[in-house]
């Protein structure tokens, strides 16, 4: 055979088809994974928008003031999403060192109902969850709320309470009219 009449053999054609088959299989798998990731990103974005909207709407009254939610757990369903709201008293981290018994718990963190300012700080966690195939996915938002009415009651109580003198500080001076007469001034 001459060089110009040369053609592909059946073996070369079969090898090229097999190589193209493997390449198309890999490309199809990549395309399917990309579509799946795009769908999950879209659902995650939708859940994040629901969470942000719920946080903005749930705790703001019509006049713009913050509404303090009651303590506890609540759930609602919105379309394919489950929206869970957990409200708890704020627990200071151990690293803050507020658990030392000798220091006592600051009134702002106190949890007893008789203490002014108790339950002023709250941790609010909103979780939006959905099923993605067989797995449950979720988006969470955590915020901290302050009940300013409780804090103002705490501040008013602190202003009225007498302060203990600091160590090494000079004793408070009384006005001259309140001082008893000295021996030289006595009649």
pLDDT tens column, 96-143: 766 555 455 555 555 555 554 456 788 889 999 999 888 899 999 998
Cα–Cα distance between 95 and 103 in angstroms, integer?
14
Q: How many CB atoms lie within 10 A of CB 178?
A: 7
- Across 47-51, 52-56, 65-69, 167-171, the highest mean pLDDT is recorded for 47-51
Of 97 and 77, the structure prediction assigns the larger pLDDT to 77
Of 61 and 22, the structure prediction assigns the larger pLDDT to 22
DSSP-H helix ranges across the chain: 10-58, 148-160
SS3 content of the chain, % helix, strand, coil (to 5): 40, 20, 40
Query: At a CB cut-off of 8 Å and minimum separation 6, what does 140 contact?
Result: 51, 125, 126, 127, 128
Short-list 76, 83, 92, 95, CA closest to 144: 92
- Across 38-47, 83-92, 160-169, 173-182, the highest mean pLDDT is recorded for 38-47
Of 77 and 55, the structure prediction assigns the larger pLDDT to 77
Give the pLDDT band (50/70/90) at residue 182. very low
Query: At a CB cut-off of 8 Å and minimum separation 6, what does 157 contact?
Result: 107, 116, 117
In whole numbers, what is the pLDDT of the chain averaged over residues? 75
pLDDT higher than 50, residue 184 = no
pLDDT the model gives residue 178:
43
pTM (predicted TM-score): 0.59
pLDDT higher than 70, residue 157 = no
pLDDT the model gives residue 150:
65
Q: Name the 3-class secondary structure at 174.
A: coil
Give the pLDDT band (50/70/90) at residue 94. confident
Of 164 and 19, the structure prediction assigns the larger pLDDT to 19
């Amino acid at each position: 055979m001459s060089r110009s009449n040369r053609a592909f053999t059946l073996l070369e054609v079969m090898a090229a088809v097999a190589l193209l088959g493997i390449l198309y299989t890999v490309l199809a798998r990549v395309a399917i994974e990309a579509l799946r990731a795009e769908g999950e990103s879209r659902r995650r974005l939708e859940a994040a928008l629901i969470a942000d909207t719920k946080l903005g709407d749930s705790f703001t009254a019509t006049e713009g003031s913050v509404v303090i939610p009651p303590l506890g757990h609540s759930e609602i369903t919105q379309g394919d999403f489950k929206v869970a709201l957990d409200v708890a008293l704020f627990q200071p981290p151990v690293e803050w060192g507020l658990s030392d018994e000798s220091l006592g718990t600051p009134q702002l963190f106190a949890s007893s109902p008789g203490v002014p300012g108790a339950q002023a700080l709250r941790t609010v966690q909103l979780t939006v969850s959905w099923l993605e195939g067989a797995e449950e996915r979720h988006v969470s938002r955590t915020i901290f709320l302050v009940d300013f009415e409780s804090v103002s009651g705490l501040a008013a109580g602190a202003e009225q309470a007498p302060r203990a003198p600091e160590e090494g500080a000079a004793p408070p001076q009384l006005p001259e009219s309140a001082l008893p007469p000295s021996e030289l001034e006595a009649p």
